[in-house]
Amino acid sequence: MSLWLEAPVPNVSPDSAVELWEPDAQDANSQRALRGSNCILREEASMPQSAGGTSGAGLEVADPTALLPGVEVFPESTGLQVEFINPIFEFSRAMNELQLNDAEFALLIAISIFSADRPNVQDQLQVERLQHTYVEALHAYVSIHHPHDPLMFPRMLMKLVSLRTLSSVHSEQVFALRLQDKKLPPLLSEIWDVHE
């Protein structure tokens, strides 16, 4: 299965598009690993490769990855990137499948923020009360807007558990990298605001 990178570029034929390709793609000569994901950017053979070639939007297309900040290929760190990024993509995919509206998403964020077991919380009881208020608000909202789906509310709360797990795994991976005296790839350092 291939996914197309869609961008508002007028007058560009499908033959010159940039395709997101599955990791098991066979054409190794035309692949570039994208730093920070397990996707591979594949340039179609008919895409102009000269320095003077431009896309329909007037952009140089000799190297489409030039527009991506910090995109570099380091084969020795590709597995590490997949290990870091795949769980994030899986979480994002699962959240997208819920098809939450803005109110539901905002309430989930509030529930996540008001977590009493975070470090340096002074008044845990007050934070728990605030969180409980948002949990009740989400439950009421979901009951009204999804009356025929009694499992919607529990599914939403399970995503918060998944987010906690993802955060824990991320912390462990960063700690393990520091123990091994390895650096995060630049793009991941920027995303997670980890400066060493």
14-59: per-residue pLDDT in tens?
Answer: 343 333 333 443 443 333 333 333 333 333 333 444 444 444 444 4
pLDDT of the residue at 80: 56
Query: What band does 71 get if pLDDT is binned at 50, 70 and 90?
Result: very low
Cα separation values, 126 from 110, 115, 170, Å:
14, 10, 28
d(CA 115, CA 131): 7
Residue 12, pLDDT score: 37
76-191 to CATH, choices 1.10.565.10, 3.40.50.970, 1.10.274.10, 3.20.20.370:
1.10.565.10
Which pTM does this prediction carry? 0.53
As beta bridge partners, residue 31 has 42
Q: What is the pLDDT of residues 120-163, one digit of tens each?
A: 889 999 999 999 999 999 999 999 999 999 999 999 999 999 88
* Domain residue spans of the chain: 1-69, 76-191
pLDDT at 192 (0 to 100)? 66
Q: Pick from 83, 141, 22, 51: which is nearest to 31 by CA?
A: 22
